[in-house]
Amino acid sequence: MAARAGACPLTQRELIEGFFMEHRAQIIDIAAYLDRLDRSVERDAENDFRFLAVRKAMRELSSEEPGRVERILMHLSDPVVELMDTRDRQNAFGAFPGPEKQS
Amino acid sequence: MKYIDVHAHMTSRTTDDYYQMALTGCVAMADPAFWSGYDHSSPEVFADYFERLTDFEPKRAAKYGLRYYTWLGMNPKEAEDRGMSREVLKIIPEFLDRPNVLGLGEIGVNRVTRNEVATFEEHAQLALDHGQMIHIHTPHLEDKYKGTQVIIDALAEETRIRPERVLVDHVEEHTIRLALDRGYWAGITLYPMTKTSHARAVDMLEMYGTERILVAGACDWGPSDPIAMPKFVLEMRRRGHPEEEIHRIVYENPIEFLKQSPRFEIPKELTPLPNPPPQGGRGQDPWTDQV
C-alpha cells in the first residue's frame, strides 16, 4: 500500500503489537483516577473547571474523527485572543477556567 | 547518534547532566535565558546571570567536549515588570558580542498581558537593531494558543523580521501551523507533563514533515530530562523512521537554523578539555568545584 501524506510509517498491526500495552496502562490509569475522585473523602470539587475539562476531553477520545489531540488541546485552551490588562498570576492551570475566574 | 539540543537550561542542571548528554551523543546545546523559579530582585542580578551564560557555563560544558551557546533576554515570566525590563534591555547589548551568544531569547509572553507584549516587542526591536536572531517562548498550557497567536500578530507588524531567523518554540498540535505557515521555525520541546511527549513529537513530524522543525529536551529546574533527545531518537526508531531522517531532525536541522548566527560553529568531534581547565573568568573551577 502506498504511504499517505502525513502517515505513520507503521501499519495498524505494528502499532498495536508495539504500543498497545503502554496505552492500555495509560487508559486504565485515567479510569483509576476517576474512580479515586469518586471515592474521595469529600466531594468538594465536582464542578472544578479542570475536572469538567477532563470529562469533555474524554468525550473527544471516543470520537471517530481524526484530530482528537488538537481538539482536546483547544478544549483546554483560552479561546479568546485578547490581552489581559495586568497579570493576575504567573502560572497556568492546565485548563481554561473561564473569563469569570481569570482574575 | 550525534545530536544538538537547541533548548537546554543547563544553568539549572548538574555537571553530571553534561556528562550524561555527552555520553549519549550530544555535541552542542543552546541555553536560552530563563526564569529561575522566582523573580529576580534587580537588573544587576540579570547582569550576573548573563555573565554566567556567557562565561562560566561554556567552560563547564567544554569539559565534556560540548559547545555551549546561549540566548539573552528577560524571560516572559518576569516580563510584566516594565521598569525592570527596561533596565535589563539596557544591559543586554553589553553581552551581545560574547562569542557564544546567538541572539535574543527566550522572549515572548506568559499570561498574555499588555505589559508582557510591550516587553516582548522591545526585545524584538533590540534584536533587529543589532541584527540578532530571535528565540520565542510561547506560553504554557491554556495560554499557549492565544499567546502564540498574539506573538505571531505582533511579529507581523515588524517589517524587518526575517522569519527564517526566528524560532517559535514550545509548539503543540494546536499551534504548530501558526508558526510554520508564517515561515518561522517551529520548536517542539520534550516536556511530557506540560508540553509534548516523545510520541507526540514524532506524530507532529509525521504530519508536518521535517522542514523548519526542531526538537529539544528543554531540561530545566522542573521535572525534565537532560537526555530526552536520545529517548526521542529511540522513539523515532521504534516508529520505523530511517536513520537519515532522525539525523536530520536532531543534528542537521539545528545546524541549519543556528548557523544563521555568525557565532555558531558546526561542532567537531568530541574533544573534552584537559583537567585542570583554563583559568580566567568568574566563578569556581567548573571541573573541580566543591559544595
B5, β-bridge pairs: B29
Binned at pLDDT 50, 70 and 90, residue A99 comes out as confident
Report d(CA B32, CA B8) in Å as an integer. 7
Q: What is the CATH number of domain B3-258?
A: 3.20.20.140
Q: What is the pLDDT of residue B88?
A: 98
Q: Flag the least confident range among B34-43, B54-63, B168-177, B242-251.
A: B34-43
DSSP B53: I
DSSP B109: -
B236 in reach of chain A (CB within 8 A)? no
CA angle B166, B169, B171 (to 5 degrees): 125
Q: What is the pTM of this model?
A: 0.93
Q: With beta carbons less than 8 A apart as the criterion, state whether B137 and B120 touch.
A: no
pLDDT digits (tens, 9 = 90+) for B173-228: 999 999 999 999 999 999 888 999 999 999 999 999 999 999 999 999 999 999 99
Closest CA to B130 of B164, B168, B89, B84: B89
Is the predicted pLDDT of residue A2 greater than 70, yes or no? no
Report d(CA B265, CA B268) in Å as an integer. 9
Binned at pLDDT 50, 70 and 90, residue A6 comes out as confident
pLDDT digits (tens, 9 = 90+) for A7-23: 999 999 999 999 999 99
DSSP B196: B
Domain ranges (residues) in chain B: 3-258
Q: With beta carbons less than 8 A apart as the criterion, state whether B36 and B283 touch.
A: no
Report d(CA B124, CA B128) in Å as an integer. 6
A residues 65-84 closer than 8 Å to B (CB):
69-70, 73-74, 76-84
Residues 6+ apart with CB under 8 A from B160: B128
Q: What is the pLDDT of residue B289?
A: 43
C-alpha cell at B80: 510584566
Q: B290 φ, ψ to 5°?
A: -110, 145
C-alpha A101: how far from chain center: 20
C-alpha cell at B178: 501558526
Name the closest residue on chain A to residue B82, using Cα atoms. Answer: A86
Q: Which residues of A touch B36 (CB under 8 A)?
A: none
A13 in reach of chain B (CB within 8 A)? no
Query: How many of the other CB atoms lie within 10 Å of CB of A32?
Result: 10
